[in-house]
Copies of this chain bind each other. A is one copy, B any other.
C-alpha cells in the first residue's frame, strides 16, 4: 500500500489511482486497465471458496480471532495486584461512540464480586419516612428509564500529570466507556421511601455504598441524587457484566466514575457528607500549597485523538487521511472539537459524527490529506457551557504538579514521516 501511494500528489484522484494499483497488486495489476475488471472479478470470485460456519445455538458470540488484540489491558507497574486495580478500554481500535461491554474498562477496589439477583438487596435508610429494603424484582417494577452516558474514572489521564507519557490512547485515556443504560431513576426510589422527614433537601446528602468488601462509600448531594441519577440493571441492552456491577449499579451522569457505585446495596439520607476515604484521602487534588480540591465530582470537557495514535499508526501512506477521536463533557453536550496538526499553533474545526448528546461520548472526524509531514496532533473540546479544554501548561499552572485526578488537558501525539505516533509534551 504505502509504496503504491509514494510520490502521488495528495489528491483524491491520485488516491484512486493508488486504489486501483492496490487492488491490482494482488490481482494481476498489469491487466487491470487493459483487460478491464475481469481479472479482478476472477480473483474476487475465488473468495467464494471460503467455507462457511453454521449459525450458533446458545453460545454467546465473541469477536473474530483476527481482532484478538482489541481487548482491555492493564499496566503491570500501576498497581500492587489485580484485586484493587484497573484496566483500560482499547479506544484506539474502536469507532463510533458505544463501548462494547466486553472491552469496557474495569476498576475495582476489592475485586469484582459475584452477586445473584435472588441474593441482591438494596436498602434505603436514614432520614426517610420509611426505611426500606428492595429485592431485585421490586426494583424492576418501578418506571424504567434509558439513557446513554459516559463513565470516566477520575484518574483517567492521571499518569500524564508528571509526564509518564504512556504510549497509547488506551493507556492515557482508556479509563472511560460509554453505554446505553436501562434502569430506574434514583428519584423514584427515594420518593418511595419518602423524604418528608429529611426536611429541606438543599443541604442533605445521600451516602451510597456497594456490596463489595471495599463498600466504596461516597456522599452525593441530594440535589444531584434527585436530578438524573439512575439505578441501572442493563448496559447496551443486556444485564450489567459482573465487572460493571451486576445486578445493579448507580449511574451518576457526568460525574467521576468512583461515584457510580457497583453492586449498590445501601443508600442513607444524611444531613452531612460522610467524608469517607474515597472522598478525602482519595479522589481529591492536592495543590501546590498542600491544600486539596474536594467535591470535584464533575468531569470537565475533554477529548483525545484515537487515530492516528501510538497504537494506531498511519499505515496507508500519503493522500487522504481520516483523523478521528472522542470528546465528552460532564457538564452537558459537546458543541465543537478543534484539531491542531502543529501542537496548538493553528486549529481546524472537526466534523461531529452526530450532534453532541448530554454527558455522552461524541465521535469527531477530520477528513484531511497527509503527505508525510510531521504532525503534533491535538484535539480541543468545547461544551455547551462555553468551557474550553485547557492545555497541560494551563492546567498545571492552576493545579500544580501534585495532582493525580481530573486531568482533562489537551493530549499531543507526535506523528513522524513514517506515520508512527508517540506521546509527547509540547510547551
Interface residues of A (CB under 8 A from B): 1, 12, 15-16, 18-20, 22-24, 26-27, 32, 36-37, 40-41, 43-44, 47-64, 66-68, 70-74, 81-83, 85-87, 93-104, 106-108, 110-117, 119, 121, 123, 125, 130-135, 137-138, 140-147, 180-182, 192, 211-213, 215, 233-234, 236-239, 241-243, 246, 263, 265-266, 315-316, 319-322, 324, 351, 353-354, 363, 365, 367
Contacts and interface: CB of A to CB of B under 8 A. Distances in A.
Contact of A95 (B40, B143, B182, B351): B182
Given A87-B55, A135-B22, A40 B123 contact: yes
Contacts of A238: 63, 67, 70, 93-94, 100, 103
Contacts of A265: 44, 47
Given A138-B19, A146-B95, A64 B114 contact: yes
> What are the nearest 7 A-B pairs in CB distance?
A52-B111, A23-B133, A54-B82, A95-B182, A47-B211, A146-B353, A61-B102
A96 B234 contact: yes
A53 B143 contact: no
A213 B47 CA distance: 8
A142 B52 contact: no
A47 B115 contact: yes
B50 A211 contact: yes
Contacts of A61: 72, 101-104, 241, 243
A43 B266 CA distance: 11
A8 B100 CA distance: 42
Contacts of A147: 354
A82 B55 CA distance: 6
Nearest to A246: B64
Nearest to A38: B125
Nearest to A101: B61
Nearest to A75: B57
A417 to B, nearest CB: 18
Contacts of A108: 52, 54-55
Contacts of A81: 54
A55 B110 CA distance: 10
A352 to B, nearest CB: 10
A412 B278 CA distance: 51
Given A52-B212, A111-B51, A242-B64, A57 B87 contact: yes
A143 B365 contact: yes
Nearest to A243: B61
A141 B180 contact: no
A135 B1 contact: yes
Residue among A49, A54, A112, A180 having the largest count of chain B Cβ atoms under 10 Å = A54
B99 A102 contact: no
13 contacts: A16-B130, A16-B192, A22-B137, A53-B114, A54-B108, A54-B111, A57-B72, A57-B87, A58-B71, A60-B71, A67-B239, A93-B239, A144-B353
B47 A123 contact: no
B85 A54 contact: yes
Contacts of A106: 55-56
Nearest to A244: B61
Contact of A237 (B24, B96, B182): B96
Contacts of A246: 64, 66-67
Contacts of A215: 48
A142 B15 CA distance: 10
A3 B366 CA distance: 60
A135 B64 contact: no
